[in-house]
């Protein structure tokens, strides 16, 4: 009986060839093969390919591999001799022990040392084996359509199309792309096929000193490699357990820059169906073409009320989905469509659960969408080898009393800066979506909901910047820094005040990163007084927003 309504997947056939299928599933696949010549041919091709790989190993690789280790010797006799000799030799120096006993002790120590190093190398062996299997599985897959790969960094986010014929047209028109390509080349990571086992293996093989770890779950394998040398500090690759297809990758650099890669589902631009019209079928000879059908007149759906939009935004804010993640809420044909790019599956389920109580809300994370807008100035993504701000970082390190103190101080300040900037960008998105002219037409309840969202962003940001100021100001003051004049006349609405606040916050973030050596200088020199003044201005801008948001 054939239990497969369609043909088994290639991953299932590969597991059959590798003798990895459970007995019941193996029987079902074999029954299908008896009735399906197409799948039988595919299995024979897989077996032939594996046979070629084995022959290559026997004919080529084995001559280059080291000899296998010898079997372990039986140590029981040696240990018995040690036990018999232990009493008289307990008080004797090691150099007076009889030669046979010394040899037995040396052999035991050598074996223990070999076991220690063998156990220590086990993760590396497992990582190399997984990568080899993933590369073999990739070579066995049939050619697929071009793939979309999402690139995410601290400063930018964009999508590249991998595998298009017009390779030059596939290059992203992103200012951050050339700098990222330079980082990939420095890490020996394949820029043309970045989300692949081959790219990870090429980077890993280029490292002279490395430490591997392998994490296994029910659905994935994750290989992580760290190194103490070079610009790259760590890299990881997540593989799907069923077919070892790459799902995600992450590169972490010593400059605190990072790059995340993930596959984006959906058709590509030249993949066929998005936005296109299917070609008509050719007419039979003598047939008359059918009269064209006129489209029914479109009925404009009523836009969702502002209160519905604010309720959805409030729910997203409640789970932190408005901070840093590319989640968009758009009215489409009378409904609210929530989309996102690069959102992990677990996070997608959390967002969907938070929104399931709202009518006319559709969550569509599988839609490719347009490349997301960068949330930070892409110019900051460049990473030239020389950093003019290194001198100021050295001054801060001396002021703090040493490198360990500087590392802790730097990590804490940059973490606070990232958290505060996430709140600032969330506030700006609210200001851009609901300008003062639109807010003037809101009901009292809708205006209160909007301002409550904005007030929560500002209050959280105020708490973070207060901690930054208390920690940073003593260091800046000791280096000669003094805060300058306050802000100019404040705007008359909180929306333009939010724009001013974000501009000041970006300036603080850039200068702080340069001062701590986490980002290159943009060419403009600054002093501790400049950073102190900007930090004070940021706090003043926050106070202005709070006053304007409290005004009815």
Residues in Cβ contact with 225 at an 8 Å cutoff, skipping those fewer than 6 apart: 127, 203, 204, 207, 210, 211, 212, 213, 234, 235, 236
pLDDT value at position 96? 55
pLDDT at residue number 467: 92
CA 214 to chain centre: 17
Under 8 Å CB-to-CB from 395, ≥6 apart: which residues? 479
Q: What is the largest CA-CA distance in the chain?
A: 111
The span from the CA of 510 to the CA of 438, in Å, is 33
**Cβ atoms of 157 and 372 closer than 8 Å:** yes
In angstroms, the CA 183 to CA 256 distance is 13
pLDDT tens digits, one per residue of 508-549: 988 888 888 877 765 667 788 888 888 999 999 999 999 999
- Give whole-number Cα distances, 535 to 214, 481, 526, in Å: 43, 11, 13
Helix (H) or strand (E) holding 264: strand 258-264
Residue 456: pLDDT band with limits 50, 70, 90: very high
Chain-centroid distance, C-alpha 91: 60
- Ramachandran area for residue 375 (φ above 0: left; ψ -120 to 50: alpha; else beta): alpha
On whether the CB atoms of residues 134 and 246 are closer than 8 A, the answer is yes
pLDDT digits (tens, 9 = 90+) for 211-221: 888 888 888 89
Taking each helix axis from N to C end, the angle separating 403-433 and 444-478, rounded to the nearest 10 degrees, works out to: 160
User: Residue 170 and residue 193: Cα distance in Å, rounded?
Assistant: 12
pTM of the entire structure? 0.47
Q: What is the DSSP letter of 96?
A: G
- Map residue 337 onto helix, strand or coil: strand
Q: Give the separation between CA 431 and CA 174, rounded to whole angstroms.
A: 26
pLDDT band at 189 (very low <50, low <70, confident <90, very high): very high
**pLDDT tens digit sequence for 374-414:** 444 444 444 444 444 557 788 888 888 888 888 888 889 88
pLDDT more than 90, % of the chain? 12
Q: Which of 311, 318, 179 is nearest to 187 (CA)?
A: 179
Q: Cα(424)–Cα(539) distance, rounded to whole angstroms?
A: 12
Q: Is 314 helix (H, G, I), strand (E, B) or coil?
A: helix
- The pLDDT tens digits of the residues spanning 55-96 come to 777 776 666 667 777 777 777 777 777 766 665 544 555 555
Q: Are 145 and 271 in contact (CB under 8 A)?
A: yes
């Amino acid at each position: 009986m054939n239990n497969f309504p369609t043909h088994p997947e290639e991953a299932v056939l590969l597991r059959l060839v590798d003798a990895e299928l459970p007995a019941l599933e193996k029987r079902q696949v074999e029954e299908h093969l008896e009735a399906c010549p197409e799948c039988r041919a595919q299995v024979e091709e897989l077996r032939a390919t594996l046979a070629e790989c084995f022959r290559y190993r026997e004919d080529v690789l084995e001559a280059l591999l080291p000899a296998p280790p010898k079997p372990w010797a039986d140590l029981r006799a040696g240990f018995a001799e040690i036990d018999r000799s232990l009493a008289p030799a307990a008080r004797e120096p090691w150099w007076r022990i009889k030669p046979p006993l010394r040899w037995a002790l040396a052999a035991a120590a050598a074996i223990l040392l070999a076991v220690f190093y063998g156990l220590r190398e086990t993760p590396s062996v497992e990582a190399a084996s997984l990568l080899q299997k993933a590369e073999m599985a990739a070579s066995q897959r049939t050619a697929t359509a071009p793939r979309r790969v999402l690139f995410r960094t601290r400063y930018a986010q964009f999508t590249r199309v991998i595998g298009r014929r017009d390779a030059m047209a596939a290059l992203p028109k992103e200012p951050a792309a050339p700098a990222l390509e330079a980082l990939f080349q420095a890490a020996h990571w394949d820029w043309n096929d970045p989300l692949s086992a081959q790219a990870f293996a090429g980077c890993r093989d280029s490292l002279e000193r490395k430490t591997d770890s392998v994490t296994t779950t029910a659905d994935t394998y994750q290989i992580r490699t760290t190194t103490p040398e070079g610009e790259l500090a760590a890299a990881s690759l997540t593989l799907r357990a069923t077919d070892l297809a790459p799902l995600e990758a992450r590169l972490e650099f010593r400059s605190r820059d990072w790059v995340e890669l993930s596959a984006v589902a959906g058709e590509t631009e030249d993949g066929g169906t998005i936005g296109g019209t299917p070609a008509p079928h050719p007419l039979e000879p003598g047939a008359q073409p059918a009269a064209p059908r006129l489209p029914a007149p479109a009925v404009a759906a009523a836009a969702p009320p502002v209160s519905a939009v604010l309720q959805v935004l409030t729910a997203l804010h409640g789970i932190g989905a408005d901070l840093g993640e590319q989640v968009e809420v758009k009215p489409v044909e009378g409904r609210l469509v929530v989309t996102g790019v690069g959102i992990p599956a677990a996070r997608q389920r959390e967002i969907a659960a938070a929104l399931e109580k709202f009518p006319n809300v559709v969550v569509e994370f599988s839609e490719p969408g347009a490349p997301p807008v960068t949330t930070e100035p892409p110019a900051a993504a460049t990473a030239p080898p020389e950093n003019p701000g290194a001198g100021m970082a050295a001054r801060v390190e001396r002021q703090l009393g040493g490198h360990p103190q500087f590392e802790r101080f730097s990590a804490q300040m940059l973490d606070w800066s990232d958290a505060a900037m996430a709140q600032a960008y969330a506030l700006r998105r609210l200001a851009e979506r609901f300008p003062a002219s639109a807010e003037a037409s809101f009901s009292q309840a809708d205006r209160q909901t909007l301002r409550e969202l904005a007030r929560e962003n500002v209050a959280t940001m105020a708490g973070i910047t207060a901690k930054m100021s208390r920690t940073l100001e003593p260091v800046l003051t000791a280096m000669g820094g003094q805060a300058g004049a306050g802000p100019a006349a404040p705007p008359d609405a909180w929306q333009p005040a939010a724009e001013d606040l974000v501009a000041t916050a970006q300036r603080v973030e850039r200068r702080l990163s340069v001062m701590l050596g986490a980002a290159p200088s943009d060419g403009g020199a600054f002093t501790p007084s400049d950073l102190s003044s900007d930090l004070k201005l940021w706090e003043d801008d926050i106070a202005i927003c709070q006053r304007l948001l409290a005004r009815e």
